Amino acid sequence: MNASNTQIQMRKGLLEFCILHIIARGEVYASDMIEELTDAKMIVVEGTLYPLLNRLKNASLVSYKWVESESGPPRKYYSITEEGSRFLETLNETWDSLVNSTQLITSKK
């Protein structure tokens, strides 16, 4: 058991939450998301992101449209759906609750 594995475990689920937030702010494509997450020190790689985006799309939480690029292959621009917005509300509450619970436990003497 090493720290990096536990760090990976801690991030699970959080990624989905953060990515929904990013998409909810406006149309973005995968590289945009990776850049923003990396800037916030939350590293994510393509092998993680693409399957996650597909899961979100299959669950009707996000949708996408193809947009041609001026330099290179076309991009998938994602946006959040009505259902996705509602789901995000739930996740906001879950996150607040988790932070609160963890705070309770880790700050106790």
Q: Which DSSP letter does residue 74 get?
A: -
* CA neighbor of 39 nearest in space, from 28, 29, 47, 31: 31
Partner from a copy of itself, DNA, none contacting 82, C-beta within 5 to 8 A by type: none
Q: What are phi and psi of 68, to 5 degrees?
A: -70, 145
Extract the runs of DSSP E, i.e. beta strands, from 4-107: 62-67, 75-80
User: Which H or E run includes 44?
Assistant: none
Residue number with CB closer to DNA (45 or 104): 45
Per rule CB under 8 A, count of chain residues that contact a copy of itself: 44
Residue number with CB closer to a copy of itself (85 or 102): 102
Under the binding rule (CB under 8 A), the answer on residue 18 touching a copy of itself is yes
Using CB under 7 A as the criterion, which residues of the chain lie in contact with DNA when the complex forms?
1, 5-6, 8-9, 11-13, 15-16, 29-31, 43-48, 50-55, 68-76
